[in-house]
Amino acid sequence: MKFPWLLIVFFSSLTNFAKTNGEIGASFIFGDSLVDAGNNNYLSTLSKANIRPNGIDFKASGGNPTGRFTNGRTIGDIVGEELGLPKYAVPFLAPNSTGKSILYGVNYASGGGGIMNATGRIFVNRLGMDVQVDFFNITRKEIDKLLGPSKGRDHIMKKSIFSITIGANDFLNNYLLPVLSIGARITQSPNSFIDDMISNLRNQLTRLYRLDARKFVIGNVGPIGCIPYQKTINQLNEKECVDLANKLAMQYNGQLKDLLAQLNDNLPGATFVHANVYDLVMELITNYQKYGFTTASEACCGNGGQYAGIIPCGPASSMCEDRDKHVFWDPYHPSEAANIVIAKQLLDGDKKYVSPVNLRQLRNL
């Protein structure tokens, strides 16, 4: 064959292209218990998942609990794997969140955390979104020390994805708390509270942009009125959901979509991806059998009531054997099997669920 060296150069170029374009440099994860990978393990808090049987299907830990509020991987874990990261984003508060490990990404998410600083205070301690951004500022400086300012900026701006999954606790563990306790309903209307949420989130995302974040994916609030906890305490049937909780989520979601459109227009070089978690999870709940599940109402791990939805998952909980057949792992959080379905749509789905681009397209921008 003539010119074999041309083929060598050609395939070598393809290989190098795959290395630089087929994976992201880092995944920086912000949010609540849906994506917490263990930060709450290091807090004195009532919101913890570092007890069995949480993590029973998490292969990387040999089935031991890690602080993830599910039986296996979170959506953040799955997305990172699919986008080419060789390691999971390390929890910021973990002892090993130092040195080169942070170049693959850091997880700042915290069970009980919210957009508003008051959210989740019933758990005593948690990391709200403002604190999580403060912590990323620390990481940002460390990356400059490791790579130098120029390469550090490129690593953040061009090779990293920032995912934010937050807002549900602002309703469940703030606004919707009983009026006679510490819920924000004592002093605010729904419109006023949601306006404050959007204003705070705008400031938080803008702060990340000023720290060189450019590729964002922001999840809206899911159908929180349909989780087993809400169904159980409100004594609903299998097909019913709590109307007020879902209405608040949808009102916030509408304003969030507008906010992300504004940020896309006003922050040069940034891409804000809208992840329509509400419709995606509602589709999963409504048509669960289509996806291979046997129930979208009953928690696999929990106790109390018709849907095992009152007592959180722990050593004394009852646990189903067919964990991959339950949409919900515990009274609040999806199972790994449900997380896989959700992550797949965010990675490769169309604009119904993720826009203006999906996460594989975002990676390659």
Q: Which residues are catalytic?
A: 33, 330, 333
Structure tokens at 50: 């570092």
N- to C-terminal Cα separation, the chain: 37
Evaluate the omega torsion of the peptide bond into residue 4 and state whether it is cis, within 30 degrees of 0.
Answer: no
Reported as type and span, the H/E element at residue 359 is: helix 359-364
3-state secondary structure at position 106: strand
CA distance 203 to 196: 11
Residue owning tokens 């720290």:
211
Could you tell me which residues are beta bridge partners of residue 107?
29, 91
Distance CA 288, CA 298 (A): 12
**SS in 3 state form for 48-68?**
CCCCCCCCCCCHHHCCCCCCC
* Pairing verdict, β 354-355 and 271-275: antiparallel
Closest CA to 67 of 89, 85, 84: 89
